[in-house]
Structure 1
Amino acid sequence: MYKVLIVDDEPMIREGLRTIVDWESEGFEIVDTASNGKEGLEKFGQIQPDLTIVDIRMPGMTGLDLIERVRQENVSAHFLILSGYAEFDYAKRAIVSGVSGYLLKPVDEDELVDELRRVRELLEREREARSSRTEQEAALPKAQLVEELLFEDELLDEEQRGRLAEALGLSAPAYRVALLDAHGSAETESRQHAAFRQRLKEAFEESGEGVLFSAGSRIGLLIVRQNLVERPDALRAHLADTAGELEFHASCGPMVHDLSAIASSFREAERLLHARFFFENGTLIDAAAHEALFPAADRAESGDETEDGPQLGDKLYYALDIRSRDAVEKVLGELERAAMSRRMDENAIRGEYSRTLSLAIGKLSSGGSSAAELAQSYHSLLLSEVNQAQSYGALKQRVGTRLFELIDRFGGANKDTVLKQMIDFIRRNYSENLKLEVLAEMFGYNSGYLGKLFKNYTGEYFNAFVDKVRVEKAKELLAQGLKVHQVAANVGYSNADYFHSKFRKYVGTSPSAYRSEAHHEQQGGES
C-alpha cells in the first residue's frame, strides 16, 4: 500500500476524501490528515507519505508554501492539489512547478480515481527503477560502491547511502578509512605503484581485511578488520610489511560505526595526509600524531613577525658572514619554530625557506669578492634542495649541509679571528641595525663578555665604534652633495635628528655645515 497524507483546513473535505473512494482497492492507504500547512509539514516529515493531497489555499502556510518546503529536502515527493474554480489558473502554475496533478472542489469520485491510478503508475515505475538500481549496485565491484559512498556523499540522501552500504555486504562493529601516498623515482614510480596496489589487494582485500579503492593519485583502504580499525599502530605495521622497500606516507580518519558514514572518516584522512611533508616515510598519520607535531597550545595567534631585531634572512646572513656553524644552526632552529607555531603547509614552508635563503645569499653576493662569487654559486643549489626535498626532515638536513659546506669553503671562524671579523663586519654592514647582542649570539659569546673583549681590542665601546664608522661614511656622502636625510638613511640612522646629534658629537659641526664647507673646498680646489 502507498501511504497518503491529506492536508486541508476544512474538516468536511478531510472526512469526505476518506469515504469518497475505496482507497485500498486502488493501492493506497490514508495514514493521517492535517488541518493546516504547518501541521502538514510536520506530519510529512514523520510519515514520509508516497502521496500528499493538499489544499492550495489555507490560512498561514499555503499548499504551495508546503510543497516548496518539502521540495527542499525531497525532490521526488508526489502531490495532488485541491482548488476551487477561482483558483484554477493558480493551480495550473503549481503543476508547472512539479506537482503531480490537481483536483477541483467539490472533488468528483471518478476524477479522484483517475488521478490515483496515474500517480500509482508513477510510483510503481519508480519502485521498479529503484529495484533495478539496487540489483545493479549489488553487482558492482566493492571498490566502486565505496567510491560512490565517498565521492557522491553530499549528493546522496540517507536512503541512497544506506542502500549502497547494504550492497557492499560488509558487516563490522566499526570502520576506518586510510589513504596512502607511495613514492618512487620518476622512472619507476608507476610500476612500483602498480605493484604496491597489487600487494595491498592481496594483503587486505583478498584476506577480508578491507576494500581497496582509488582516491585520485592516492590509494584508499576501507578497513574492516577490527584490530586494524582500533589500533593505528597495528595498521601502520601491516602497511609497512606490505610496502617492503617502497617509501610511502599514510593517514587514517577516525572510526565510524556505520558504513554510510565512512565519508567523514575519508575527509579527515585526506586532511591529515596534507601534513605528510612533516612526517618521515612509513608514518601513519592519525589525529594523535598530527596533534603531537602541531600542538594546539603552540599555535601562533598571528603570522606577523613580532621579534624586535633583524629578520631571519638578515640573521642567516650575519651567521654566514662570520663563518659560524653554531649561529647557522640557531637561525635554522628559529625558522623551524616559526614554521611549526604558524602551522605552515608544505608550500608555505618551501616559500619561507626560499625567501630566507635568497635574502641571506643575496647580501653575501652583493660585493665583488671571491667569497661573494662563491655565495652566489650556492644560491641555485640551496633553492634546488628546498624544492626537491620529499620531506621536511630532508629539507632541513640538505639545507644545513649546504650551508655548512659554504662556511667551510669560506674558511671557518676561530676565537683568534672573531674580533677582526666583527670589525670587518661592522665596516661592511654599518647601514644595518647592528646590535652587540645579535652578534654575540651569532659568534656564540655572552654579550657582556664580548663587549669587554671588543673594548680592550679597539679602545672603543661597541656602539661608539659603530657610530664612528657611520659618521666617517656620512662625511664621504655629504662631501658628494647628498642631502642630510638621505645620508642619515644610508648610514643606518632612521631618525635624522638623532643622526644630527651623533654627527655633531664626533665632528664638532652639523651635517649641513659640513656639507657646505666640503662643497666650498671643492670649488676652491677646482678654481
Structure 2
Amino acid sequence: MRVLIVDDEVIIREGLRQVVSWSDHGFQLLEPAVSAEEAIKVMENNCPEIILTDIRMSGMSGLDLAAYVSEQELPAEVIVLTGYDEFSYAQEALRQGVSDYLLKASEPDAILDAVKKARDRLAATKEHVQWKQGERERCITSLIKKIVKDTYEQKEINQLKELIPELRAFAFQFILVDKQLPISEIVKMEKLWNTYVFGKWLQFEDKIAIIVTRDPRLEDEYLIQMAAKKISQQIGKPLLVSTVVSALSELPSSYREVKPLLLYQWILREKRMISLTLIKGRRGIAYAEKMKDHEEMLFNFIHTGNYQEFTNFMDELITWLFSHPQATPGSIQLYLQTLFISMLQFVNRIATSIGKDTKNYKSLLPPAEWFPSYKEFLLPSFTKIIDDYQNLVHRQNNYVQLAIHYMEIKLDQSVSLQEVADHVHVNPSYLSEMLRKETGASYVEFITELRMSKAVELLVHTPAKVKEVSNQVGYSDWKYFTSQFKKHFGLTPTQYRQRLKADAN
C-alpha cells in the first residue's frame, strides 16, 4: 500500500521516512512532497492510499489537501501531523474528512499504528477494493503491452508473473482479434475463454490481445479449438494465432508473426483460427492467369460507360481474387494495381492522341484500408477513370473515340480499317480522314504506334518471349514484327530489353 508524506520541513520529511521501517510492514513509501500542491501532482500519477500531511504549510494547508481528497472522492486516508500548539485544528480536521491526526513528536509505534488502522479502514471499503482491482488490471495491461512491444525489463516479467501466477507456465501463445470491445465485454469473453484454457485478455491498441498458456506437449489443442469456436461465434471475428513459444520474452516475435495475418481475415473468412501454418504454401495469384480477359472487359466498360455492369463485374472480380486458392494480400493488391494502371494508361493515351491533357491519378489505397469494404474505398478509384473517359469522348467526335477504343482492344488481332469503320458505322475513308485530323497519323501509322507502345509495355513489365509479344500485338510473323520494331525504335526487341536492363543496373 502506497504512503505519501507531505511536509515543507525537510527534517520532518526525512524523520518520518527513516523512523519507520515502511517496507517491512508492507508499505511502499513514495517520494515525499514539499507542499500540498506538489502532493496533488504526485497523486495524479501514483495514487497514494495513505497521506501523512503537515497542517501548516506555505500555500495550501494540510486541511486544504484533505478537503481536495474528499471533494475528488479519492480512495485515500489522510492523517494530519500537528504540533503541541495546533490541537485547535483537530475539530476542523475532522470536518474536512481527516481520518486521524498525530503529534509530529509521536513515537514510531504510534505513527505505524495510525497508518495500519488507515490501511484496515481502506481494505474494508468496497470502493477501495474496486479501485485496487482496477489498479491491478491497469498494471497488468501496462506490463503486457511493454512485453509485447519489446520495451520491458526482466523485472517486469517477474512482476507480471507475481500478479498472474498462471503465467509461470512453460508454453504460451499470442492471439490477436481485430475488434474493439467495452471492458465489460472483454471480461465476459475472458471468463468464457477460461472455461476451456487460461488466457489473459486485454484491449491492445484498437484490437484485443490474448496471452494464452498452453500445455507444453500441446495436449490441450482440442480445448483451444473449442474456445476459439465459442469466441469466434460470439465476436464474429477470427482469431489470429501465433506459434507456441516457451517464454513470455518471446511474445514480441509472436506479435510480429501475427500482425501480417490481419489481412487474411478477409481472404479466409470461413476460418475461426488463422495461423502462419495455414497460409504458408500460398504463392500468390499468377499475373497472366486471367489478366488479359479482365483488361479487355474493363476497356469495354470504359467505352460503354455502363456503371451497373461495371459494378457487377467488379463484385465478381473481387470474389474471384479473394477466393483464389493461392491468394495473398500482396498478390491481390498487385493484380488490381495492374488493372488500374492499364485503365489509366489507356485513357491517357486516348487523351494524348487527340491533343488533350493527361490526368494524374492517385495510386490505389493499401490493402489494410480497402479490404474491409472495397465498394466504399476502392471502387471509386476505378469509377473515376470511366468518368474521365466518358467526359473526354463526349467532348469529341464520338465515333473516333469508339474507333480508337476498338483498335486498342483488338491489338492482338489483324484489324483492318474497314472492320473498324464497320464497328463505328461510318465510311472507312471518312474515318481515316477524321482520324488523321485528330491524331496527326494515318490509320496504319496510328495502329502501328499503338502496337509498338503495347510491345514496349510487355517487354518492360513481363518476361514474355519475343514471339509471345509479337502475337499479343497482332503480328503472326515474329520476324516481321522484329523488323517493324527495329524500324520504329532503332533496336530489335531483344536489344531494347537488354538496353533497359543495362540502364537499370
- Which structure has the larger Rg? 1
What is the TM-score when the length of structure 2 is the normalising length?
Answer: 0.40
What is the TM-score when the length of structure 1 is the normalising length?
Answer: 0.38
